[in-house]
Amino acid sequence: MIPLSDKMAEPPSAYDQLTKHLGEIAIVGSIGSLLHWDQETGMPHAGGEWRAEQLAWIANRQHALLTHVRTRDLLEAAETEGNLTSDAMVNVQWARRDYDRATRLPAAFVEECARTESLAHESWKAARITSDFSIFAPMLHKLVDQARLRADYISEQAASPYDALLDLHEPGATTAEVSALFDTLTPQLSELVELATQKGSSLPTLPDGLEYPVEAQRRFNHVIAEAIGFDFGSGRIDTSTHPFCTRLGAMDHRLTTRYDTRDFTSSLYGVLHECGHGLYEQGLDAGSYGLPVGSAISLGIHESQSRLWENHVGRRLDFWEQWFPLAVDCFPGLLGSTPHELWQYANRVQRSFIRVEADEVTYDLHIILRFRLERALIEGDVEAKDIPGEWNTLFQQLFGQQIPNDSMGCLQDVHWSMGGFGYFSTYTQGNLNAAQLMQAARKAVVTLDQDLADGNYSSLLSWLRKHVHSQGMRHVPKELMQRATGEPTATTAYLRHLKQKLQFV
Ligand code: ZN
């Protein structure tokens, strides 16, 4: 009799070998994320140069593994293997898309883009400090050319080169669809902003002259993050200049926030926002880490989760009623305030020049402006050198205000300097999705509003886990929204939410 161990082991299937290979790519990618997280949270300034070398090496290694002939061979073998489960098919299809995309871009072009982006980022910083667009203009021109070329390389049969760029961040989204949504939204948002800003002559404020120590803010935020379901056993919150959320492994989720000692709500809403991203990632299937079925589907869905917890949960009146005693315990100076005042402060509406400081109601007008301009850039209707004038005209139309200088206008965002075209619209898609998901959750869970008023967030989280988080990349965003809410992304639920909040219904 032959001992069991001497029997020939079954050779692993092509699909198993492919997932092992994708797992290796994920390991390399997560090492890069860890290096990036460290750079933003703790690395001494002088470590920057060596860190850039490390990150470049990692990016190169990851690209080399993805475009390696072994990926092609394993993909071809897995595709013809047969008997794949539906999840396995999802993994193979996305891996095929990533491979094709990565190999369609010539290596020299990828290298040239990286060089341009690094130089453009520096010239953008210099232009922003001095508010002198002419410093950045030639680089923007080059970035637009490269984005158009990239669209050309990766697009299959896109109606507009901008479609290919949108698809990088929001699979399946088209320029025509996004444009139609934004055209519906624009006049209605403008009207709401007008009504909201007419309503009161003075804006709600926090009590005068109070200081909110960072330690007390940390305690306040930690209790609330835990209450909404963020698992600190597999996550943590640190400090960085620009808040973000990153996943370093199946069970390792890092969030960051920043603190303003004169306004504790700034770090609170930052934490609620990043926690929304973190909850999504903690709800992905940990056993499929590094594979499409265990990954987030798009930026627009990701942003729906952050906006949902930040705005639909954290900006409710009963949220402030629930957490007011803890707020007073952490910040005793708030004793003379009321939950109603804090709620009003958290929902103040004011037109402003800077997107990242915008309130919930005016925010999307900032996005619509950027979407229109970058689409015109990519489709060749506007030239880079004309951006300041175009920006200011559009801002005047949408906000009725004159931009004082380019630092407060077209030079304020980092995205274009990093080649990030097609990204902005996902913020507004996130807002629309958040309202629509919330509406569907409310229909499905009849106790939802009472649960939230009681500080019981688990019924909402369970619904999101089932309909969004656990889905991974099984459905493109429009299908996911259709399945979860009964319709593709629309503006109705969002406008209703804003009107209700502003009491204009
Ligand atoms: Zn976000």
Asked if residues 25 and 74 have their Cβ atoms less than 8 Å apart, the reply is no
Read off the pLDDT of residues 409-449 as tens digits, 9 standing for 90 and up: 999 998 999 899 999 999 999 999 999 999 999 999 999 99
pLDDT-above-70 percentage for the chain: 97
Question: How far, in Å, from the CA of 13 to the mean position of ligand 1?
Answer: 39
Asked if residues 248 and 254 have their Cβ atoms less than 8 Å apart, the reply is yes
Asked if residues 36 and 73 have their Cβ atoms less than 8 Å apart, the reply is no
Cα 219 from Cα 324, distance rounded (Å): 14
Question: How far, in Å, from the CA of 5 to the mean position of ligand 1?
Answer: 51
Question: How far, in Å, from the CA of 415 to the mean position of ligand 1?
Answer: 14
Q: Which of the given ranges, 5-19, 145-159, 316-330, has the highest pLDDT on average?
A: 316-330
- Model confidence at 1: pLDDT above 60: no
Q: Please, is 471 exposed, middle or buried when counting C-beta atoms within 10 Å of its C-beta (0-12, 13-18, 19+)?
A: buried
pTM listed for this prediction: 0.94
79 is annotated as an active-site residue: no
Extents of the domains making up the chain = 14-154, 175-504
Read off the pLDDT of residues 334-373 as tens digits, 9 standing for 90 and up: 999 999 999 999 999 999 999 988 999 999 999 999 999 9
Question: How far, in Å, from the CA of 107 to the mean position of ligand 1?
Answer: 31
Name the catalytic one among 274, 303, 310, 374. 274
Residue among 245, 393, 384 nearest 309 (CA): 245
Question: How far, in Å, from the CA of 55 to the mean position of ligand 1?
Answer: 23
Half-sphere exposure of 128 (CA within 13 A, CB side): 15
Question: How far, in Å, from the CA of 273 to the mean position of ligand 1?
Answer: 6
Question: At the topology level of CATH, where does 175-504 sit?
Answer: Neurolysin; domain 3 (1.10.1370)
Confidence of residue 487 (pLDDT cuts 50, 70, 90): very high
Cα 8 from Cα 409, distance rounded (Å): 68
Question: How far, in Å, from the CA of 72 to the mean position of ligand 1?
Answer: 34
Q: Give the CA distances from residue 182 to residues 197, 280, 308, 359, 364, in Å, rounded to whole numbers and listed in that order.
A: 22, 26, 20, 18, 9
What pLDDT was estimated at residue 374? 96
CA Rg value for the chain:
24
Average pLDDT over residues 388-402: 96
